[in-house]
Chains A and B, each alone.
Chain A
Amino acid sequence: MPVDIDIARVAHLARIALGDDELAIYGDQLAHILEHAERVQALPTEGVEPTSHPLPMVNAFRPDVVTGSLERDEALAGAPDTEDGYFRVPKILDES
């Protein structure tokens, strides 16, 4: 059975501005793909620990020593827009 998806909400969460036609296509495709996920959901897994990662590791530490990093100009070199050594973006908050 196709899964019911609010595809417009999903696209908004993903910050991908899609038109209505595209949303309809992706919505149908996702519903179809997720039908197969129902097989996974039907498997009994009570008491099974999830595997988030293939290696048994908790944390990775290194000595707290200052090491080199990119120069500011190098870090900014690929940016679409910069100003005074900063990344520049359009306004974030409405000024009204």
Chain B
Amino acid sequence: MTDLADLTIAEAGAGLRAGEFTAVDLLEAVQRRAAVTEAHLHAFLTLDRDGARLAAEAADVAIADRDPRPLLGIPVALKDNMVTKGIETTAASQILAGWIPPYDGTAVRRLKRAGAVIVGKTNLDEFAMGSSTENSAYGTTRNPWNTDTVPGGSSGGSAAAVAVGSALGGFGSDTGGSIRQPAALTGTVGVRPTYGLVSRYGLIAFASSLDQIGTFARSVRDAATLLEAVAGWDPLDATSYHGDVPPLARSIDAGVAGLRVGVVTELTGEGIDPQILAATKAMVDRLSDAGAAVVEISIPAIEYALSAYYLIAPAECSANLARFDGVRYGLRVDGATTEEMMGKTRAEGFGPEVTRRILLGTYALSAGYYDAFYGQAQRVRTLLRNEFATAYAKVDVLVSPTSPTTAFEVGAKTEDPLTMYLSDICTIPTNLAGDAAISVPIGLDDGGLPIGFQIMVPALCEETMFRAAAEVERLAGFAARPPLATSEVVAP
């Protein structure tokens, strides 16, 4: 018999509505999974047992009343940079240790309104800055496929929790790949929606022109269902998209016949693991066999995306993180003057990667350098956007690997920041363009570690993205489960 923790959201929803089990049963199943795996994974920073129990009980009442909402009673995990009223929210930073927010972010509020059961807050690289979850001030999250390796990052906790079955769905934020890369490394589906599709109100800001909330799931359909619950205009986020939310899952079963697919030259060559390249090429061939029109497309400005990103993101981070000054919330280290207090507080409160990026951004924005660094990076961003627009005139979707490597060992890339930064080489271009993209698992490498396939689409073309992703999912038939989620290990 299948453990309820291993169900998809669609399966669980059907079972709940058919009365096969209750939302409390489902919650207890994921809580049992967390109880036996957390010692190995450390996916969560906070588990909200009481709040989750109350939400599950309320869901059961509504289900008995034939309430059809698709997330009703579904246990979900939230990245700990999403502000939750009454539940400690730290963004994995010492500077916010113990902070109990007085409000819910918009995505959190909408999830509660949808009847979802929030099981807890997941680990991340401090303030979402990193690609391995090793930059957390509260310890590294491990990958359930091999606990010697990282789950990716920065949303590594949500990715690991969904992969192992401690939640059926998860939420994260994607500034340069922080949803798609951990999804690839943990064998889950990860969606970075169009910039502005989900309100950033109550998402602790890293780089405001790049940040976007998105979803983790164990199926493409589930990822779309989660996104539907939180997408849409929010007056509290002036940058949220003001039009109607386009249909997300309407064409999910339409197949790829006639779909124009572009394989990105710059992301399918040097610097990508050969096994990942081979798996990517095999999937492209299968898409072609399934009726897609495949062409190769060159986007030369991608070669500059990483460098431009590491000017734009730190610049915006240095401005956003100025708010952590020991005055209104979080840590304070005493000093004789306010300025001394602020300097000591920030030195003690921020970890090395966050400090590095604040310094980098402060330098790039300082008098005399602004135009040469930040301004120039923004112009390069325009060049990249123009090239994407030209490409999307010829194809409906662009495809590539999601990550240049599968999960790497804990500690392997912590010495040299630049090596770590290369982890996001395939994902950063989408963030700079403001577009949407998804990672879908398509197989395992010879070490038994998952390989992710990325599908990119123009802004607000999520319908096409989910359509192509569902076909990739079907063609790949990826059904493997991480060893840590199998019954032998999980038995109490």
Interface residues of A (CB under 8 A from B): 5, 7, 10-11, 13-18, 26, 29-30, 32-34, 36-37, 39-41, 43, 45, 48-55, 57, 59-60, 62, 70, 74-75, 77-81, 87, 89-92, 94
Contact = CB atoms under 8 A, between A and B. Distances in A.
29 contacts: A14-B346, A14-B358, A14-B359, A14-B362, A15-B342, A16-B347, A17-B340, A17-B343, A17-B344, A33-B360, A36-B310, A37-B307, A37-B311, A40-B307, A50-B378, A51-B378, A51-B379, A54-B195, A54-B385, A60-B238, A75-B102, A78-B102, A80-B327, A80-B330, A81-B332, A90-B336, A90-B340, A91-B336, A94-B337
A59 B382 CA distance: 20
A44 to B, nearest CB: 10
Q: Label chain B's interface by main secondary structure.
A: helix
Given A10-B362, A53-B239, A54-B195, A77 B434 contact: no
Contact of B318 (A14, A54, A87): A14
Contacts of B344: 17
A33 B417 contact: yes
Nearest to A53: B209
Contacts of B21: none
B100 A39 contact: no
Contacts of A54: 195-196, 209, 385, 433-435, 459
B239 A55 contact: yes
A10 B359 contact: yes
A59 B99 CA distance: 32
Contacts of A87: 327-328
Interface stretch (B46-54, B168-176, B369-377): B369-377
B424 to A, nearest CB: 14
Contacts of A34: 360, 363, 373
B382 A40 contact: no
Given A10-B363, A40-B307, 12 more contacts: A13-B366, A16-B346, A30-B356, A40-B311, A41-B373, A43-B304, A48-B379, A51-B378, A54-B195, A77-B102, A78-B329, A80-B327
